[in-house]
Structure 1
Amino acid sequence: MVPERGFVVIVTRLRLRDFRSYAAADVAFGEGLTVLHGRNGAGKTNLLEALYFGCTGRSCRTSNEREVVRFGATAARVEVDGHDPDGPHALSVGFQPGEAKRMRVDGAPVERMADAPARPLVSVFLPDRLELVKGAPALRRAHVDQVVAALWPARADTRRAYSAALAQRNALLQRIRAGRANRASLPAWDAELARHGVALRDDRARAVELLRERFATLAGELGLAGTAGARFRPRTRAATPEAFAAELAERVDGDLERGFTGHGPHRDDLVLERDGRDLRAYGSQGEQRLALLALLIAEREALAEARGRPPLLLLDDVMSELDPDRRERLAERIARHGQSVVTTTDLAHVPGASSGDVTRVAVGEGTVLQEAAA
């Protein structure tokens, strides 16, 4: 299959109002590396979150988005400017608790930022994002589905179609349990679920395969001891939709007893390993953090190769936990592809930060100071 390619959207500016600790802020970004530096608690992570919020329409830190509105304010607003070879682009997200978000791309309202071609792809590493490694499988499934959608946008609908078919089958199971429907209706929904399920499973498997070798190499470079591995663990290995539908039929009695479908891609998982042992259960927090970082950079490199669209990479306080040699390796990796924003408490921790090619922004007490190039 020919890779789906597209223009790289470079983010040039972030403006925000009443977001977290900021009454207002205006930050310009370089086309390569931008370093946000300041003491702990100064507001560096809030800027990364705002940038992610403006590009995706959601927070990367909380599911309770009331938290993004500055204390005492009634609403938050984020605007992101960028450009690609087609010209300039403008994104905005307005959020007021209790009301629908107001999202626009190039002046037109959108329901989902993910559907806008002009939206910059974005990947974020936060130290407290370790739930992706050590949390429930549903988090990793959703993450792999985001990678699939970024690699092959036309396939994003497969997950939605599977979820809709799963909801319909579960509703039917509950009606049968209640005596309001009969089992004769199930084979049609088994076939529908299986058709989308096999396609979804195959998309996930292909995406993980693209990441597998990159992940192992990067994890080693970043200091994860032993042999690292990324492995897709599907719930079904049925080769065809018909075979998967047969598996569903074999399990229907158990599904009726539970009242929901217990078998299928909604139980898939991504396993990150060190020396064959699941890092979710057996990895230290430091090892899990290195694995997460390696996974995100592996995804970025795969996207750069497959689509020519490396995502904007947001790295929060990652350099302080690496030794000088591994900082150099990480800096070299992120410099190869696209645009990055890195936070640090110490500019000396970011190789090349004093270079004239790097944009530096001092952050403190809810304010930002754009610095002149060296």
Structure 2
Amino acid sequence: MRIVRLALRNFRSYPTAEVELGAGLTVVSGRNGAGKTNLLDALYFGCTGRSARTTNDRELVRFGEQVTRVVVMTEADDGAHELSVAFESGQPKRLMADGVRVERLLDVPGRPLVSVFLPDRLELVKGTPSLRRAHIDQVVAALWPARAATRRAYAQALAQRNALVARIRAGGASAASLPAWDRELARHGVALMADRAAAIESVQTRFGTIAGELGLDGDPAVAYRPRSRAADAGGLEEELAERHASDLERGFTQHGPHRDDLALTRERRELRAYGSQGQQRLTLLALLLAEREAIAATRDAVPVMLLDDVMSELDRERRGRLVELLRGVGQSVITTTDLEHVPGAEGADVTRLSVRDGVVGADAQTERAA
């Protein structure tokens, strides 16, 4: 499956736009503030139903307007498909797949998978563990869609146990009922830990190789760091039971997979604390590319890479290696302020678009080649 066309209306800086993407690499050029990042966000929004940049959908609506709509048209072996997302302030989002309303685009079979690199996403490397946990769970869902239910089941059990802890602490329930929820939480928790461990295992070797190819030295590595040491549900249940008094004192569940983390290291030191900005950028890029390879090897689908301003802090050699990794494998969209920053951008197999003052058009070189 590939994305053929993107159409949008009143999305951020764009009153309207319609864009055709190439089957391989598409390069979007324009000055700073022209709207290149907004175009990537529209692609992400249309494929997932959410923004890559904000949790407040009202920020996606163009100033002075009330409604925004994004349509993504795709082609697959079984024909053409259409995904659309519409949002009006004060109303629930309207998600459609081939003209049928759906609850979540993420559950639509055959939906294009997307992976996005934005400068803001460096928080994945240097931010809180909750961001990295959420990311691991997204990778699990991309690798094995059916396993996404494990994370939801764990979250529901955790919410129930926390509610019970709060009631016991307030004198409204008996502590005798807590072991039952220990057992339930442990059952889902061990399954969640196994999914996360398997996902990171599929990425580890690829991450080290790609990071080295991009110029990140010092033996870069990625590792799953579970909070629990339990090997099975019984072991996790025992760990939870040992913490009853502490949980009741604090008023919530302090132990379990909801406290896990992802370790990104270089020279055995956390890049979160000891990596430079450039090293953190390379780490994030290598991680996303490694995940893309792992997903492509597991499923008959290659995630679309959306890369914003990725070339600005890479030297020419690393830029060239990145383009080599991207070309010929699935679709990728790169934004840049200067076409010369993307080696091979003049090639006949590259689609070039230019953005100026909220208007997207084919690059002049692309038009001449056509």
TM-score, normalisation: structure 2: 0.97
Per-residue Cα deviation, 1:113-152 (whole angstroms, up to 9, x for no partner): 1110131100000112111111111110001100000000
Equivalent position SS for 2:294? helix
Output the CA distance in 1 between the equivalents of 2:268 and 2:190.
27
CA-CA distance at 1:227 after TM superposition: 1.3
Output the CA distance in 1 between the equivalents of 2:172 and 2:219.
54
For 1:267-278, list aligned pairs within 5 A: 267-278=259-270
Residue 69 (1) aligns with residue 61 (2): yes
Equivalent position SS for 1:372? helix
Q: Paired residue for 2:225?
A: 233
Q: 1:353 to 1:373 in 2, by over 3 A?
A: farther
Q: Paired residue for 1:372?
A: 367
Q: Paired residue for 1:283?
A: 275
Conservation of the 8 A alpha-carbon contact between 1:359 and 1:373:
no
Q: 1:301 to 1:142 in 2, by over 3 A?
A: same
Conservation of the 8 A alpha-carbon contact between 1:357 and 1:373:
no
TM-score, normalisation: structure 1: 0.96
Conservation of the 8 A alpha-carbon contact between 2:24 and 2:328:
no
CA-CA distance at 1:52 after TM superposition: 0.3
CA-CA distance at 1:334 after TM superposition: 1.1
- Structure 2: runs of 5+ lacking an equivalent: none
Residue 309 (1) aligns with residue 301 (2): yes
CA root-mean-square deviation: 1.0
Output the CA distance in 1 between the equivalents of 2:329 and 2:245.
51
Q: Paired residue for 1:347?
A: 339
Percentage of identical aligned residues: 66
Residue 95 of structure 2, aligned match among 91, 95, 103? 103
Q: Which amino acid aligns with 2:215?
A: G
Q: Which amino acid aligns with 1:276?
A: R
For 1:1-374, list aligned pairs within 5 A: 9-370=1-362, 371-372=366-367, 374=369
Conservation of the 8 A alpha-carbon contact between 1:301 and 1:337:
no
CA-CA distance at 1:365 after TM superposition: 0.3
CA-CA distance at 1:373 after TM superposition: 6.1
Per-residue Cα deviation, 1:39-73 (whole angstroms, up to 9, x for no partner): 11111111000000000000101122211111111
Per-residue Cα deviation, 1:221-251 (whole angstroms, up to 9, x for no partner): 2122311010110001211101110110011
Equivalent position SS for 1:319? coil
Deviates more, 1:308-317 or 1:319-328: 319-328
